[in-house]
Amino acid sequence: MRGERRKPTNEMKLELASRSVNEALARAAVSAMATQLDPKLDELTELRTAVSEAVTNAIIHGYRGSEGTVYINCRCYADRTMVVKIKDKGCGIENIEQAREPLYTGDPSGERGGMGFAIMESFCDRVKVTSKPNAGTTVTLTKRFR
Amino acid sequence: MKQATVKLHTAANRLIAAIGGDIDHHSAADVRAAIDRELYLQKPQILILELSAVDFMDSSGLGLVLGRYTKAKEIGCSTRVANPTAAVERILKLSGCEKYIPFLQDTEITREVYNERKGEN
């Protein structure tokens, strides 16, 4: 992505304990940085929602409730693009294609809709997923504010 | 960020769960437990999830709605979603759940909840 090769106008790095209480903190931090690019309210909601999905996935599926760190790297670019990387060093995803399918869920309780990736894809311009079993997963969300 | 809240009202075989605040994976657990407790206690015919005061919701909120639909169905209770904001409605409709969960807007029953909530503030 061209946005990633250029020099960012601002950057933030966050490391959060993989606790569900930090999902709101991650959203608030990324949202606070995004306001520097003066997004519309619905664009900001879209970004917050996508970040929430990726961070929740890292906590529930990456670390499966065990202790770990969620790494967030957030970059702003001059063309009002924001690139947010959410990385975990958890169990990784065996089959990324399957995980990205709408309604697929790795959670058997019936309390997860299996729509996390569908929401990220619908709310961002680009969603990149790299993963290695037993090494971790990185989700890169790219969103350009209009 | 706002704490998730749920207020439960029972009226004429209906259980109304008025949900508010930020619904994510963390906060959904308490809301879910509160609704399920009342659902099994009251065994209503209709469960209405009133969502006008939800400020933020991700797919965990969708999971909350779909999970309640499933639980309610098991005890012969049907589910309605009432007054979702545009952002919440968009997330719910990504799953296509409006095909089996009717969406209500500004009905008499939910207006009662509105008024009651206004009285509290």
* CATH number for the domain harbouring residue A57: 3.30.565.10
B 26-85 residues inside an 8 A Cβ radius of A: 26-28, 32, 56-60, 62-64, 66-67, 70
- Name the CATH superfamily for B5-115: STAS domain (3.30.750.24)
Res. A71: pLDDT tops 80? yes
**Which residues of chain B does A59 touch, with a Cβ-Cβ cutoff of 8 Å?**
25
Q: Specify the pLDDT at position B115.
A: 61
Domain count, chain A: 1
Q: Can you tell me the ipTM of this complex?
A: 0.89
User: How far is residue B38 from each of residues A108, A135, B42, B64, measured CA to CA in Å?
Assistant: 24, 42, 6, 15
Determine contact, residues A52/A102, Cβ cutoff 8 Å.
Answer: no
Q: What range does the domain containing A31 cover?
A: 2-144
pLDDT tens digit string along B40-78? Answer: 999 999 999 999 999 999 999 999 999 999 999 999 999
User: How much is the average pLDDT of A92-118?
Assistant: 84
Helix intervals (H) in chain A? 2-5, 22-34, 41-57, 96-100, 116-123
In chain B, residues with a C-beta closer than 8 Å to the C-beta of A118 are 94
